[in-house]
Structure 1
Amino acid sequence: MTPKVHVKSGDKVVVLSGKDKGKQGKILTVFPKESRVIVEGVNIVKRHTKPNRQNQQGGIIEKEAPINSSNVMLVCPRCNKPTRIAKKFLQDGQKVRQCKKCNEVIDK
């Protein structure tokens, strides 16, 4: 059984802890089995790479590394504040995420 992650790819989040505390970014990738996410512009690491077909020159490449999903909080698109989410069932049986601060449905 895979663990639940409260954010999805494409969500805007704010980082709660670590060296990038307070930074906002968009989620690029979610790894639910490891409970980790990759956030755009957060947790940048340097990788030394050899030249290959894709990267002719090689050298030092900066890219985002995964962080734990518990260290990020969803930013509501309507009220633009970091918020917890509530699960809500619509009348057609669809389960959606809802902002705890403004009660706006996040998933459309």
Structure 2
Amino acid sequence: MEAWSEVFHEFQPALWEDHNSISLDHADLVRLAQRVAHSLLASNLDPPIYCADAYYLAKLLYYYNRVVTDLRAELKAALYTHSKQLVSFIAGMANGNCVVERVLRDTRR
């Protein structure tokens, strides 16, 4: 409760009132929950909360990783010389990204 109270007062989301209740905008509710999740007073959420945009970017980077991994083999077989920047970029992308893997694992999609 202390974490919620502290984060709520710090964040100060807009409240919506009708005749029967007071509520938060959905986007504000998600941001508030994420701030509470990152608060030192709150225990870790399992799974953590990721927005749809984070999932989309993780899927996109995962796809690029697969494409670059295939390109890496083709570049090795090609006869012409490649720039060091291109080879370095492809090697870096082919290594993958632990953040992408964590988002995909935690969203379980």
The normalised TM-score by structure 1 is 0.24
Q: Tell me which of the two structures has the higher relative contact order, counting C-alpha pairs closer than 8 angstroms and 6 or more residues apart.
A: 2
Q: Which has the higher strand share?
A: 1
